[in-house]
Amino acid sequence: MSANPKNMVKVFERPASLTDAKFTYCPGCHHGLLTRIIGNVLDELDIADRTVGIAPVGCSVFAYLWYKADSQQVPHGRACAVATGIKRARPELIVFSYQGDGDFASIGTAESIHAANRGENITVIFVNNQIYGMTGGEMAPTTLVDQKTTTTPLGRDPKVAGYPIRFSEMIATLDTPIYVTRQALFDTKHIMDTTKAIKKAFQNQVDGKGYSLVEVLSTCPTNWRMSPVQSNKHVGETVTKVFPLGDLVDRG
């Protein structure tokens, strides 16, 4: 029996807050999934028309194309400073930055820490895939020990490059942040957990509570030289041992 579209129930659709622009992300990468989750949260909280998103430099440089919301594309690493400027200029706006590990935890270290410490009432989405995807797979501050990248061809040697930096734990030492959490997307349960965390991080801002950070462990099948399935397994079995999941701060 052929299905009549008129009798079908719609169980899945594009979030209303997302445009129909095609993602520039590689197959199997979690950026697209995460963008969907944010779109859904903007829908649920009905805030897209007063939201300003911040597109960083890196794989998500085109993030300003995905949302039916205002955006600012900003210099590498400066997203939290720009977010500060927008939010202070217009506190009624909902401001979120979307940053990779190079952007947030390397070149933007100072901006990331000080915006958190000032308690800027913003939402930060920090995508940790342990590699520089856009530029071709170089070492990130979060790259695992022994992980091969184009700039650690023999694997990351902690004697040369130090250990992977747990940036969210650093932020969690500060007294000001309201919510700091690390989540992942490698299976359905964790996708649901991430969705809840992102909703909470936006709700905190809507409620005027202050700074929220959601770190999301993400995959980079292209530069990890793994299939999407292997990549998810790698996050679940290996990456989460170095970057444990869960809430680090919850003062909400």
Residues lying near other proteins in the complex (CB under 8 A) are found at 48-52, 55, 61, 64, 67-75, 78, 81-90, 92-93, 110-111, 113-114, 118
DSSP annotation of 1: -
Dihedral sign, Cα of residue 30, residue 117, residue 111, residue 155: negative
Report the nearest approach of other proteins to the CB of residue 7 (Å).
Answer: 35
How many Å from the N-terminal Cα to the C-terminal Cα in the chain? 52
CA angle centred on 183, ends 194 and 104, rounded to 5°? 110
Q: How far is the CB of 187 from other proteins (least distance, A)?
A: 33
Provide CB contacts within 8 A for 194, sequence distance 6+. Answer: 34, 37, 183, 184, 185, 214, 216
Nearer to other proteins, 21 or 229 (CB): 21
What SS3 class is residue 183? strand
Is the Cβ of residue 71 or residue 152 nearer to other proteins in the bound state?
71
Closest-CA residue to 235 (of 159, 131, 92)? 131
Determine the Cα–Cα distance for residues 146 and 152; give it in Å rounded to an integer. Answer: 8
User: Which lies closer to other proteins via its Cβ, residue 55 or residue 245?
Assistant: 55
Q: Which of 145, 170 has the CB closer to other proteins?
A: 170
Smallest gap from Cβ 26 to other proteins, in A, equals: 17
Comparing CB distances to other proteins, the nearer of 65 and 145 is: 65
**Shortest gap between Cβ of 58 and other proteins (angstroms)?**
12
> Minimum CB separation from other proteins for residue 52, in Å?
5
